[in-house]
Structure formats: C-alpha cells, structure tokens
C-alpha cells in the first residue's frame, strides 16, 4: 500500500512539472497583457505623421480642381490662378439666383435698384389702389342697384362730377407712372463710359464671350450636369463650366448678338435683358459694386435645348480679374504690348530724322538705305498711263486673248 502511494505521488510530480513548464512557455503568448499593449505602440507613433501628410494634396486640389477651386478674400498670386481651370467664387445663397421668393431678386446694380424702387413704391401701390377702387365700385353697384332694391331703373344719363373724375384720375395716374418711368429709361439707355467691353454671342445651345479690350480672347460657356453642379455647390441647371468674369465696380458694356437663331441674354439681379439677334449688334450695360456669382438664363425660346442654356457672371476684385485674364492668355490695357522689330524700324515715315527732308528722309543730300534717291524727278505725272503687267495672262481667263 505504501509503495503504491509513493508511485502515485511520483507520477503526480512528474506530470505537474511539464504542465508548469508548458504554462510558463505559453504565458508570453496569451497570458501576459503587457506585450499586447506594447504592440500597437509603433502604430501610435506613426499616427501623428498622418495629419501632416493629408493636407498636402488637399491644398493643391483646392486650386487645380475646378470643382472646389475658390478665390480667397485677398488677391491671389498669378501662379494660383494659372493652376486653376476657372477662378471660381462660391455663390451666396439667395443672392443672384432664384430662392422661391415672391417678387424680384435682390438687385446689385444702380439701374436694378432704381427699377425695384419704381416697382415697389410706385407701381404696386397704384395697382393695388386701382384694383380695390374698382372692386368697391363693382360691389356697391351690385348691391345698391340690384333689381329687388330698384324695381324702376333710373334714367340718369349724365353726371358732370363723375365724368370729370374718370377723366382726370387716369391722367394723374399716367403722369405718376410716366415721370419715374422716363427717368429710368433715360438712365438705362444713357450708359456712362465703358470700362470693359464684352461681346456675347448666343449659339445652339451655349454662350460665347469675347474680350476685345483684353487681347480679344474668347471663352465658351456650357451648362454643367446636375452631378457636376452639386459637386461644386452650385444650383442645378444654372451652373456653367466657364463663367463670364468682370471686375467689380466697372461699367461693363455688352455687345449681344447671335450665330444662329434668336436668343436673349439676361441676369435678373442686374436688371439686364437683351435679345441676341443674328446679324444685329445690340448693346446694354451693367455695373455692380458687389463681388459674387450671379445666374441667368436664355429668355427666348431658341430650340430643343433652350432650358439648358444658363448664364453665370462672376464679379471679382480688379486684382483677381487681372490674374484671371492672364490665365486665359489675355492682356490688360495698361500692359505695353511688344511691337514687331520690322514694323516701324525701317519706316521712313515713322522714324524720320529731325530736320530731314520729309520725302527722302535725308538730312540735306543723299538717300538713305530705306528711301531711294529720286533726284529731280520727285513729282510723278499721274496723267501718264501706268504700265500694265502681263504677268499671268497666259493662265488667266480674264487676261489676254485665249
């Protein structure tokens, strides 16, 4: 019995030792939490580097990507604008675009403000007053002179007071409308001296803008899809890929025409609308002191895609406008354009020597390299017949005899 107990104890001890060894060997892999906590440590050391690398591609994307390109408040550098497809300003909600309100959009031009005042202060009160007066008179006549109240109708045919009233009152109303209306028309069709001229050409179905004062470069403006407009944060069916850009505070003269059918260019916030007629040059103008983006549409039914011919005008500070012009390959009127080396250098009229003969460009006697010496035969008899060239008569049916 004792021997069996000793053998059992020895077997137990022999089995416990390998179990403890295996537990100690497996403890670093499963049981010890310290290495597990230390394992993510290299990742935590790399995390601070991520915020330093993420903004690097984002900064150029705000310039090179036209979907998110934005001009800051300050004037950008030429390099920033040159890297951008379009100098884009984010539109302001409810400014320069429809927002569901009743009435006109907020006007940003002097003509627009005057027209809005004329509408709100003169026309609407007069219309309301006339409508209420006519309504009251109709109701009074219906009630006062109904058949049940007047079985015997009145035979009154003339009333001097009523005739004077209905003659003078319309005249006074027309005068109240005509005076501010004529003043508004005079201001609208008597523009100040233009600071910038833009030629607007309507096409089926897009707009073309030419800048003759800035090197005569041209841009083509097409409507954006709803997806692209939403990506740029612009209203659908009003956003375009290339906006017409003008400087703030400048008097802009528009020369409006068409290349195919009748179109109509207009911006409601500018109080501008002008028909684009093929073969005709119509003029209008606007001036705004508020930078921003303003939208319009073609106001003439011009074909199948008439509803997809929007207009977008971007008003920028002068420095940003100048950078935009250079980015499109244009020039500014203040910039001196280089002249050709052989256009005036060898001209005797453009580079005459002071005190020289006006005809020969010589100081005294002797001819220059550019002006031959005519001698005493400086006056040519114009009555003599000029020699007739026979060059090419052999090959021309309009030449000599066949």
Q: Please tell me the least confidently modeled range out of 65-69, 203-207, 226-230.
A: 65-69
CA distance 11 to 373: 136
pLDDT digits (tens, 9 = 90+) for 37-58: 444 444 344 433 333 333 333 3
With respect to residue 7, please indicate whether it lies within any of the assigned structural domains: yes
291, 248 Cβ separation under 8 angstroms:
yes
In the prediction, which pLDDT does 352 show? 46
Higher-confidence residue: 364 or 316?
316
Residue 181 has pLDDT above 70, yes or no: yes
Question: How many residues in total does the chain contain?
Answer: 402
In a domain, 316, yes or no: yes
Specify the DSSP class assigned to residue 120. Answer: I
Q: When comparing pLDDT for 280 and 22, which is higher?
A: 280
Q: At what angle do helices 110-117 and 160-188 cross, to 10 degrees?
A: 170
pLDDT average, residue stretch 200-215: 94
Among candidate residues 327, 348, 369, the one where a domain is terminated: 327
Percentage of the chain exceeding pLDDT 70: 62
Lowest mean pLDDT among 11-25, 32-46, 242-256, 277-291: 32-46
Residue 18 has pLDDT above 50, yes or no: no
Q: Is residue 162 part of a domain?
A: no
The pTM assigned to this predicted structure is 0.60
Q: What is the pLDDT of residue 59?
A: 30
283 closest CA partner among 295, 274, 291: 274
More confident residue, 299 or 159: 299
Virtual CA dihedral for 249, 268, 231, 290, nearest 10 degrees? 20
Task: Compute CA distances 239 → 207, 246, 267, 314, whole Å.
Answer: 13, 17, 13, 11
Q: What is the pLDDT of residue 297?
A: 94
**220 inside domain:** yes
Q: State the average pLDDT over residues 311-330.
A: 93
Q: Between 14 and 154, name the one with better pLDDT.
A: 154
| CA–CA distances in Å: residue 180 to residues 117, 170, 203, 285 | 10, 16, 36, 20
Q: pLDDT averaged over the chain?
A: 73
| 277 found inside a domain | yes
Helix (H) and strand (E) counts for the chain? 12, 10
Between CA 255 and CA 222, with CA 188 as vertex, the angle to 5 degrees is 35
Instruction: Please report which residue ranges of 145-262 form alpha helices under DSSP H.
Output: 160-188, 226-231
From 150-159, 162-171, 226-235, the region with the lowest mean pLDDT: 150-159
Dist. CA 227–CA 249, nearest whole Å: 33
| Residue 100: band (very low, low, confident or very high) from pLDDT cuts 50, 70, 90 | confident
Whether 138 maps to a domain, the answer reads: no
* pLDDT exceeds cutoff 70 at 235: yes
C-alpha distance from residue 57 to each of 48, 63, 90, 228, 393 (Å) = 17, 11, 21, 21, 70
Q: What pLDDT is attached to residue 293? A: 94
Average pLDDT in the 343-354 region? Answer: 46
User: For the domain that residue 243 is a member of, what is the CATH number?
Assistant: 2.60.40.420
CA angle 242, 300, 189 (to 5 degrees): 85
Query: Does 231 reside within a domain?
Result: yes
Quick one: pLDDT at residue 62?
32
At residue 320, the pLDDT reads: 93
Q: Give 117-121 contacts, CB < 8 A, sequence gap 24+.
A: 118/180, 118/181, 118/184
Helices (H), 261-345: 318-327, 341-344
Return the pLDDT at 7: 61
pLDDT band at 6 (very low <50, low <70, confident <90, very high): low
The residue segments making up the domain with residue 220 are 196-327
pLDDT at position 45, please?
A: 40
| Encoded tokens for 114 | 């005057």
Q: What is the DSSP letter of 104?
A: P
Of 16-30, 231-245, 323-337, 367-381, which one has max mean pLDDT? Answer: 231-245
If one counts every other C-beta atom within 10 angstroms of the C-beta of residue 219, the result is 18
- The residue ranking higher by pLDDT, 235 or 3, is 235
In a domain, 221, yes or no: yes
Query: What is the structure's pLDDT at 360?
Result: 42
Q: Is the pLDDT of residue 396 over 90?
A: no
Q: What is the pLDDT of residues 245-255, one digit of tens each?
A: 999 999 999 99
Report cis status (omega within 30 of 0) of the bond before 205.
Answer: yes
Q: What is the pLDDT of residue 333?
A: 84
DSSP 123: I
Tell me the HSE value of 306 on the side-chain side, using a 13 A CA sphere: 12
pLDDT tens per residue, range 127-139 = 999 999 999 999 9
pLDDT exceeds cutoff 90 at 149 = no
Structural domains counted in the chain:
2
pLDDT at 343 exceeding the cut of 50: no
Cβ contact 202:258 at 8 Å: yes
Pairwise pLDDT comparison (390 vs 169), residue with the higher score = 169
SS3 183: helix
pLDDT band at 154 (very low <50, low <70, confident <90, very high): confident
Q: Which residue has the higher pLDDT, 358 or 298?
A: 298
Element (H, E) at 254: strand 252-258
pLDDT, greater one: 249 or 402: 249
Answer yes or no: is pLDDT of 339 > 50. yes
């Amino acid at each position: 019995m004792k021997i069996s107990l000793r053998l059992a104890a020895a077997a137990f001890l022999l089995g416990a030792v390998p179990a403890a060894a295996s537990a100690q060997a497996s403890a670093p892999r499963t049981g010890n939490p310290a290495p597990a906590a230390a394992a993510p440590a290299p990742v935590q050391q790399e995390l601070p580097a991520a915020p330093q690398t993420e903004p690097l591609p984002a900064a150029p994307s705000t310039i090179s990507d036209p979907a998110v390109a934005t001009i800051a408040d300050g004037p950008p550098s030429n390099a920033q604008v040159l890297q951008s497809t379009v100098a884009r300003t984010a539109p302001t909600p409810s400014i320069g675009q429809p927002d569901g309100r009743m009435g006109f959009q907020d006007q940003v031009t002097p003509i627009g403000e005057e027209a809005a005042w004329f509408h709100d202060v003169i026309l609407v009160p007069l219309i309301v007053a006339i409508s209420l007066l006519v309504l009251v008179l109709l109701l009074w006549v219906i009630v006062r002179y109904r058949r049940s109240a007047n079985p015997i109708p009145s035979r009154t045919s003339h009333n001097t007071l009523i005739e004077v009233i209905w003659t003078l009152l319309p005249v006074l109303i027309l005068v109240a409308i005509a005076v501010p209306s004529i003043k508004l028309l005079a201001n609208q069709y008597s523009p100040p001296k233009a600071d910038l001229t833009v030629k607007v050409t309507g096409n089926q179905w897009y707009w073309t803008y030419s800048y003759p004062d800035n090197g005569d470069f041209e841009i083509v403006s097409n409507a954006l899809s709803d997806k692209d407009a939403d990506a740029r944060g612009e209203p659908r069916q009003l956003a375009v890929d290339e906006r017409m850009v003008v400087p703030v505070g400048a008097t802009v003269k528009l020369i409006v025409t068409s290349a195919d059918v009748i179109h109509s260019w207009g911006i409601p916030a500018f109080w501008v609308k002008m028909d684009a007629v093929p073969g005709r040059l119509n003029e209008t103008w606007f001036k705004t002191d508020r930078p921003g983006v303003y939208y319009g549409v073609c106001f003439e039914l011009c074909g199948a895609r008439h509803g997809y011919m929007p207009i977008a005008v971007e008003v920028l500070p002068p420095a940003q406008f100048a950078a935009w012009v250079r980015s499109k390959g244009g020039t500014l009127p203040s910039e001196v354009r280089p002249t050709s080396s052989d256009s005036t250098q060898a001209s005797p009229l453009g580079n005459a020597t002071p005190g020289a003969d006006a005809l020969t460009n010589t100081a005294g006697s002797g001819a220059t390299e550019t002006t031959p010496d005519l001698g005493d035969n400086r006056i040519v008899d114009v009555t003599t017949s000029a020699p007739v060239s026979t060059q090419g008569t052999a090959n021309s049916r309009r030449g000599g005899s066949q």
